[in-house]
Amino acid sequence: MSKEKSVTIYTTSKCNISCKHCGVGLDQDSPRPQQTTEELKTIFYKLSKDNTKYITILGGEATVYRRDLAELLDYADTVGLKVSINTNLTVFHVVQPLLAKPALKGLIVSIDGITPATHDSIRGKGTFQKTITNIKLVSKHERVLNGDLHLEMAFVMAQINVEEAPDLIDFAKEVGATRLNIKNVKLIGRAFSFAEDLGLDLKKMLNAYSLLVVNWMLSEKKIEMEILVTPSFATYLNRRFQLTFPTTEHHACGGESIFSYVDLHGNHLPCPSLAYEENPTMEFSKAIPGINLLESDVQESYNSDLFREFESYRAGRSFKSKMFPCKFCSFQDQCVPCTAQMVGGGKENDTVDICSALFEHADQYLPGFRKEIWPHYNELQNESLQKG
């Protein structure tokens, strides 16, 4: 493989808090054995020899339950890997000594509300104050100040915090973050049990996403932002708010040539959504020959049926004919939505949230938008009415 790749490694299912929206929360309820230090070094080494340059360590809460992070960061440095760590950052003393490690290039801090009431309602009483205090301490570290260590704020948008989303740009700057990452809640794992609190109203989501992007575009001091802006959403933003957001080809799924995932058993997968941690109905509840990096080389996993099927779906884009409203979209050739929905046992009419929100509500703000972006839907509806 010629491209530099990024791999996320799930290193522990243990966590010190219990978030309502946690996709892997059910795994946390009965923690499984985690990889040893030497096993993780083996995985690091094999990935480094296959043009992987970036590793993201995921949990659980690795900073609390992986006491070997300093050793792993030192080893990553010797094999040329750059590392980011996902953390709730509620415990500072375990993170502080890691900040000076050259291999550590990013901290991804989960903050799910800009007020204590909202954040704590998702993550537990007192967590907001701990995390905010600690992220401000990290933001003053010399490696953050000189740009050698990126401080990223991760926000999972849900019904319970959607009203605060438009103010995230200023809030991220206030706490010293250099990057903002926005994802929608998935009603899987523990989140399924709190669907009433978390499930997003599409109209509220559309307005929150819109104002968030507008605020980012108008912000004087830019921070990086990762958010799903499909070509149809970009067109909507430009029309409604007179922006110049690019409408060029957007990939919500970059495929295995850009990123992949290693689960708690060492199985190498094309996407975290296929993993047992996020989907216990999947078959990866044990080490699988041919894709397990403790037994096989990286190339063997890339040549497996699993990776071939995933990449075939992604590159061929044929799965969009089963997704809503993708199958009617005039931007169908310029967009690659989430491939995992299809490979992971997706069903007819699996949806893309932001595009579904546009389909249902954009005409209230831009009359005729749905007919323009999804003309085939209107044609099929007319045919159906004529036959009826």
| pLDDT tens digits, 24-66 | 877 877 888 899 999 999 999 999 999 899 999 999 999 999 9
Q: Looking at this protein, which amino acid is placed at residue 370? A: R
pLDDT at 337: 75
Average pLDDT, the chain: 89
Is the predicted pLDDT of residue 104 greater than 70, yes or no? yes
pLDDT at 31: 83
Q: How many CB atoms lie within 10 A of CB 347?
A: 9
Residue with tokens 């970009």: 234
- Sheet order of strands, 179-184 included: 224-226, 179-184, 150-157, 104-110, 82-87, 52-58, 5-10, 259-262, 268-269
| pLDDT tens digits, 331-384 | 887 887 777 666 655 555 678 899 999 999 999 999 999 999 999 877 655 544
pTM (global) more than 0.85: yes
Residue with tokens 């200023």: 170
Is the predicted pLDDT of residue 320 greater than 50, yes or no? yes
pLDDT at 2: 42
Mean pLDDT throughout 63-77? 97
| pLDDT tens digits, 275-295 | 888 777 677 889 999 999 999
User: Which tokens hold the place of 246?
Assistant: 């690019």
Mean pLDDT throughout 145-164? 97
Asked if residue 55 lies in contact with residue 81, where contact means CB atoms within 8 angstroms, the answer is yes
Q: Which CATH superfamily is domain 5-302 in?
A: Aldolase class I (3.20.20.70)
Is the predicted pLDDT of residue 297 greater than 70, yes or no? yes
Q: What is the band of 300 on the pLDDT scale with cuts at 50, 70, 90? A: very high
pLDDT at 133: 98
Question: Using CA atoms, how far apart are residues 130 and 139, in angstroms rounded to an integer?
Answer: 14
pLDDT at 387: 44
Is the predicted pLDDT of residue 302 greater than 80, yes or no? yes
Question: Using CA atoms, how far apart are residues 337 and 320, in angstroms rounded to an integer?
Answer: 8
pLDDT at 235: 95
Is the predicted pLDDT of residue 73 greater than 90, yes or no? yes
pLDDT at 1: 36
Mean pLDDT throughout 76-101? 98
Asked if residue 104 lies in contact with residue 149, where contact means CB atoms within 8 angstroms, the answer is yes
State the number of CA atoms in the 13 A half-sphere of 279 facing the CB: 17
Percent of the chain, pLDDT > 70? 90
pLDDT at 384: 42
Is the predicted pLDDT of residue 115 greater than 60, yes or no? yes
| pLDDT tens digits, 237-284 | 999 999 988 887 666 666 655 789 999 999 999 988 888 887 776 778
Q: Which residues are bridge partners to 74 per DSSP?
A: none
Q: What is the band of 164 on the pLDDT scale with cuts at 50, 70, 90? A: very high
Every domain of the chain with CATH number 3.20.20.70 lies at: 5-302
